[in-house]
Amino acid sequence: EAQVTQNPRYLITVTGKKLTVTCSQNMNHEYMSWYRQDPGLGLRQIYYSMNVEVTDKGDVPEGYKVSRKEKRNFPLILESPSPNQTSLYFCASSPHPDSYEQYFGPGTRLTVT
């Protein structure tokens, strides 16, 4: 089954404790991205990757890091989480940036206390 998986789905952590949210797709897609969704603000893109070893900043990259060492994986790293990073995070992938077929992961709800 074609899918984008994220782990964990739910996470409660404390300020400053490094964490990684994993994202994996099994469709051999070149393009992957991370979004955060906040009430009243909609979805905002954090980082995206056009291919292996090619990443770029979205609208709200501050406080986040990403890497794309393999085509299927695109982890999101919070080196020192803060409460303002409490949000719902989505990973997405598509064959290329303009593709109609954009697949979203199930989401990761992160709470930073």
Partner 1 sequence: ELKVEQNPLFLSMQEGKNYTIYCNYSTTSDRLYWYRQDPGKSLESLFVLLSNGAVKQEGRLMASLDTKARLSTLHITAAVHDLSATYFCADRDYGGSQGNLIFGKGTKLSVKP
Residue 83, classified by CB atoms within 10 Å of its CB into exposed (0-12), middle (13-18) or buried (19+), is exposed
- Site for partner 1 contains 63 (CB under 8 A): no
Choices 15-23, 50-58, 62-70, 74-82 (CB under 8 A): range interacting with partner 1: 50-58
Contact 72, 85 (CB under 8 A): no
62 touches partner 1 (CB under 8 A)? no
With contacts defined by CB under 8 A, name the span among 21-29, 48-56, 62-70, 75-83 that binds partner 1.
48-56
Cα separation, 38 vs 20, in Å, equals 19
Task: Note whether 87 binds partner 1 by CB under 8 A.
Answer: no
Does 34 bind partner 1 (CB under 8 A)? Our answer is no
10 binds partner 1 (CB under 8 A): no
Pick the closest to residue 52 from 23, 29, 77, 84 (CA basis): 29
Residue 89 is a binding residue for partner 1 (CB under 8 A): no
